[in-house]
Structure 1
């Protein structure tokens, strides 16, 4: 066993989730620790090559509780940030957020049960050179230990885990070297699912969200048609060798994601992003087979209309509605933002609520203990259920669900769950729908 102990010397951790610029990261993701080790090795003149042995080995994590502190902001000189055009900046500085976790009293442990022999001595020397993690204002002490005590949380790698952490994949050190030599930020490492064996949460069968941004405002009422158009556009780029995850023939397949702007005071119900929900637990090659054709799409057709799509500029902040945790953080209560299309008509004497509960189980989640139905969504900005047009005939309705245990998202439920409909979002309280 190889165990790395990280002590936060001032009880705080300044680090942003790369997918959500104002959200704090906790616990520290293994790839962030790996990058700190690489930097420490080069900074102290030690060959970082032994760190290659940790690539592709998701560690276990043991850690305590921490609280999200008040998010601060830093005003950075605009000239320091990359800009895609030569036009002058319209302002002299740009706000950058500084999310922080506070009240950290316990160490964080990263444990590799099957680490190669002979790694202890070089890793101990490298770890001793790590002075901070995340931002420089997070001083840490890193050391190797032989025993790991019981901690409030223990995360184990799991294909169906409800937590996704960035883990250094094979070749990560080479990627970091190339990015450093080119003077650019390294790409975000791949995600690995984890399960907390201390406080269990029902996992979602869905993992990573890969969104593109539309070039103009598009009404979310056309969700199913947009999903069909995106599928056609991606498959045309993938060609005859398209992954089964994309065309859906012969096993599991990805879900086409149409992410709307809902749930806040100024929500207008337009589409924020179009892309893919990837099944949890797929390997890196399967992920690549989905990412490459999706990234090549620059427009899609739906009906007699066309909309341009693409990756947002690097300096553009990601809307909160496209943060994965907006749709995925564990909750006891969930409500739909796009209506659920029933998998079948109710049998004689059967309640529609029971059909919805069956659909939730069929989609891979626990059976809800309470189901409410109605034309209205619990989220501001979401249209009435009858204003949507599913891909085929059937019955559809907005729903609100309550579970006995916390369930991690995303929740995609119903007949058209692979085409944008039946998308649910966690809520604090389920209210009656009318």
Structure 2
């Protein structure tokens, strides 16, 4: 891992270089995705079947070969060992409980002239969730994307998941059953995103698409945004740990590994206030890496984008964290709630030495779909509110129309919009 010191005159430049990540779209990927999306939009199910067979190595003859029902999901759940069933239900229950606190409610009030104003909250009608397949299975992604939609009151939750070589993962399907997914299509890639966005003869058009995916999925989500809503275009996984030296070095080392093992471009950073402690963590990492099945990925990640930063104190560490704006921030310090008040930008804040980031990934309750690549400066975790809409309510009284009408008339004439002005003036008692 790179070693940085805030007292170095080159620190800011080194930190900026560390955080730099090429987010520009790949023109070749964009071209391929554009063709796929256009083809699915034009040919519907036929194109979806063709691309799925080509890219996933399946042999679907009809769209029915790619559809799973509630009975299929329940059967997958029942095939699992009891301990996995219990873990899925526990995680789903905790995520549901947390997201119920996020649910927005409608409200109204009357002003002094009797005009009613307010906000009406309604759920989206139908959403699509993309769940990665292939290298790994992510039942946690199913729960994190589907459960807030369920809590929001979304009536239909359509899940798409690729099944390379036709292999269906029971844990992923069981998670869909537990989280209340309506229907599953075993398709993935840009073709799945296009099917959700435009609809086909069998795949219903959704209002919003959420969930992570590879570069082709990300490019497809960018392309269909505007036709449907999307959650975000996620970048590589990130963790930033601020440690004051009171947490066992082994714990911090493994927390850094927990994100580095995602892929070679994930980022793990440790900020400490003691060089001796940073050295202790490095020693722990050197020892523990021998036990990691994904050692090669972890080493590549830490070598490419990992770093240890020596800060003069925790105040400076928090300011650095605000600049980094990490996806996951661990405050592995004494009195973490007090230090959390100094954090302005982070996707999720894990407070205290016993709060490993991995608990948030699976079962703590808050959502693990978080802003990456410094976008926590202006965006938030996926939540119930992402599956609800706000409509403004306005009911002007006769008395209110006299006052508001005159104001609107003046402003409309100022914009040379005569019909706007006259529409307000017609409701005035002294209308000429």
Place the TM-score, normalised by the shorter chain, in its bin: under 0.3
Larger RCO (CA under 8 A, 6+ residues apart): 2
Q: Normalising by structure 1, report the TM-score.
A: 0.27
Q: Normalising by structure 2, report the TM-score.
A: 0.27
Larger Rg belongs to? 2
Compare the two structures and name the one with the higher strand fraction. 1
Compare the two structures and name the one with the higher helix fraction. 2
